[in-house]
Structures are given as structure tokens and as C-alpha cells.
Amino acid sequence: MIQGTASSVGKSVLCSAFLRILKQDGWKAAPFKAQNMSLNSFVTKKGLEMGRAQVTQAQAAGMEPDARMNPVLLKPTSDRRSQVIVEGKAIGTMTAMEYHEYKPALRRRIKEIYDSLESENDYVIIEGAGSPAEINLREGDIVNMSMAEAADAPVILVGDIDLGGVFASLLGTVMLLTEEERKRVRGIIINKFRGDVKILEPGLRMLEDRIHIPVIGVVPWMNVELEDEDSVTERFRRQSGEGDIDVAVVKLRHISNFTDFQSLALQPGCRLRYAESAGDLEKADLIVLPGTKNTIEDLIDMRNRGMDQAIIRHARRGGMVFGICGGYQMLGNRLKDPEHTESGVPEASGLGLLDMDVIFEKEKQTTQAVGTVECASGWLEKYNGTFMDGYEIHAGQNILGKSAQPWLRTAEGTDGIMNAGGNVLGSYLHGVFDDGKLFAAMAARIREERGETGKESVPVSFEAFREKEFDRIAAIVRSSVDMEKVYEIMRGEDRK
């Protein structure tokens, strides 16, 4: 089990690296995290929802994502409430206190799920959440030391040196554990190091003398381009890419599945950034409205920031606007939530850029899908027949108006529509940018509108890029961590 001194110390990436190493070494290994809190989710082939972190880890291991790898997923709908997803299905929305009272009932089921996964694999790499030293949460813990105990798993504790104070955080974490919990911690990894390890070595020996746990690795800083687990990410604060097409993704308060844009940022010609104000949208070539867990309230918040008018002005000037999932719904005329499926607000007017209304229903649609471009006229017509793989997670259903022009179809019918000018489009299909074809087509149209010729964006497959990234981080971790010691820990040989 990989635990950390805090959130964002690099647990998820290290789990991916270890899983790829195990795959390279010929072992069948699977990821597991008892509970995720994230708005980045995925839909399995069985139509079950799970957190993206374990999807990425499954891909690193060469495994098909399985909802058993993440039995509980919490998707915040507000500061105090979260949708609770158990074994891939939403069971309702709870406050923090309601969920705290419900957790004991989950313990036995989580153990059963873990046991079934373990029985099918040589190894399981378990990821913790946050810190195991949150002493106020110990009694209700289902994801850190209680999970290690349930699985009888040895623990490797990870600290992030880039933030400073790594020795204090490691020492403090170990000291706040019970004696039995401390016995489970068999190794320490210091992550995100920049510089000469020799300078660090005296501190490592002093730490080992105090906690009596070996430091088994110092992992250097890695610029990792894998999907983020949640909104605790640096991506929102920096620009990605240096291309000629300026892409502004609206930073919604409850932004979800922003993993859609990590593949977009890799595309040649794309210069991607996240926008938080109307001014941030002024020079964009393409404005993207992302998914959200609370569509109406995020629409109202965006309106309060004046961003709605900036988007409308951009579209009326012929600028390109694209909406995915909740962002797609915002582009319509009216959004209605009579049963308060997502929000306490029963109805709101949309941006009016696509001729459709949206009605939210209790039952959420979760499915993998293949979209096909089918456009009757306009610039997308020449791309008819192009396939786009992805998945859908949404409660809203569209009621299309007369001027809505379909451009993307799935087996279920019309998935995406556009306006008469072809510059405002939307789709429910997450992953629509992953193979690079859609952005290449949009970039070609934007350049054509500018009067530019002779420049072309060659699509980059995110899947192929991700495979290289897994091998790269595995090589770095293999060279900076004592893998012989890791295998000893996993087999229990370090205690003999």
C-alpha cells in the first residue's frame, strides 16, 4: 500500500509507476483505492463509474478498468454535499455527517471487493487518500490504515520534498500513528526531489535513526502528463503548449472530467489555458465549456463573473465555442431540474447558442460509446464517417429545437449538435479529443477563417502518448527506488 503524508504528494503517479514495473517484470497486478473523492470519473465497459486515478493505474498495469478497483467514489456537488457512488452506481447525495454515519456499513463490502480482486492477481497496489495521520478521522477510516489492516498490506509512506518540510511531515506522520500502524510502515520514499541526492543523505540517515524505517528511494521531480485525480492540480495555473490556436477552457467551480483537456493540450498547434474571468476569454480562438457536477449553479456563477456575455460575443463574431457534457447543456436555451437532481435551483436560462432545452432526470446515463460524425452541411461535412471513442456520464436529456443541426451520432441517436453557422458545437462524449482528430479539424477551420493556408495539425493519439509516459516514469522510479527492497516488502521477506 502506498500512503502519503498529505494530498498531492504523488501517490497516484507512484502507484502507476509500480504497476507498470510489475507488468514489465511479468506480474499480473491491479490497482485499488477504497474511496476516491474526485469529479474526474470514467465509465467501464459494464457501464459502471469509477475514479480516473485507478483507470490510469489499470492502464499502466495493462488491465481493463474494473469498478472493483475503486469501490467508493465521492463526487462533490457543493461545499457540504457529495454524490455517493458505490460499486459503480450512484446511491444518493449525502452530507459529510450522513456519509460518516454510513461508512461503517461499507467496511465489510469493501473488504469483500478487495478480496475478489486480490484473488485474481499476483499483486495489488493499494493507494491511500490524503494522510493516515488525520487523527480526528481515524475512527471512521476506510481508506488508509484500516484498509491496510483489512488487506494485511505493508505500507510505503511517501513525502513531498518540493513543498518543503518533508522530514517534519514524515516524522510527524509516523509519530501520530498507533504502535500497530507504525509496524505496517516498511519503507519511506521521498518524492519530487530537485538537486543532488548526496546533499540529502545526512538528513535521510537522521530520519531513519528517529523513525527506524528505511528510506528506500528518493524520486526526482518528474513532469508527468498523466490524468489528474482531482482539482488539486497545477494545470489550472499554467499554460500548456505553444501553438498558434489559443484555447481557453472555462474554469467552472465544480469542473469535472477535465482530463478531457490533458489530451487536447498535447495536440500540435494547441495553446491551452484555463479562464476564470471575462477578460481571459477575449483573445481566444476556441472557448471550451467543460463538464460540471452542478450545471445550473456553475452557469449562474459563470454569469455572475460576466463570462456568459463574453462567450456570447465571441460566438456572434464567428468565434468557435465547444461544450462537453454540462458545458454542452449550458449552451442551450433553458435548463430544468424539477427534481433537484443536481441543484437546488429548479430552472435557469442557458446561453441560447444552441437550439435545445435540457431536463435533468434522477437516473444518470453512464455508458461507453462510439460517436460518428454525420453532418448534413457545413465545414464538418467532409469529416463524415470519422469515429470518436469515449464515454458518457450525464443526467440531463436534450429536447432539440428546429434549428439544431446534428453533427455527432452514437448508437443511442444524436449525441452532438451545432448551430447554423457551425461555430458553436456540443457533445456528451468525454474523450472526444483523445485521438486528436477533432482538434485538427477545428484548427483547420480556425486557420481557414483567418485566411491562413499551408499549416496543418497532425493528430496525436493520447493513448500512444500515455503508454510512452508510463514507460518513462517506470524507468525513473526503477532507477531511483530500491526495487529489490520493494519486492521484499511486498513478499513480507523484510520481516524475516
Identify the helix (H) or strand (E) that includes residue 324: strand 320-324
Calculate ∠ Cα 37-40-43, nearest 5°.
110
% helix / strand / coil in the chain, to the nearest 5? 35, 30, 35
If residue 445 lies in a helix (H) or strand (E), which one and from where to where?
helix 437-450
**Amino acid letter at 77?**
T
Direct distance between the N- and C-terminal alpha carbons of the chain, in angstroms, rounded to an integer? 19
Residues 2, 486: Cα–Cα separation, whole Å: 11
Contact 189, 158 (CB under 8 A): yes
From the candidates 270, 325, 375, 394, which is the catalytic residue? 325
Give the Cα separation of 492 and 488 in Å (integer): 6
Helix (H) or strand (E) holding 342: none
- C-alpha 396/C-alpha 393 separation (Å) is 9
Question: 3-state DSSP call for residue 356?
Answer: strand
Check 254, 314, 394, 430 and give the catalytic one: 430
Residue 447 one-letter amino acid: R
Taken in order 404, 409, 412, 416, the sign of the CA dihedral is negative
Name the grid cell of 274.
484555463
Q: Is residue 325 among the annotated active site residues?
A: yes
Q: Give CA–CA dist 479/289, Å, rounded.
A: 41
Nearest to 343 by CA among 57, 77, 148: 77
Extended strands (E) in 374-451: 387-400, 405-410, 413-418, 424-427
- Name the grid cell of 304: 455572475
Residues in the chain: 496
C-alpha cell at 227: 490524468
**How many H helices and E strands in the chain?**
14, 25
Positions marked catalytic = 325, 430
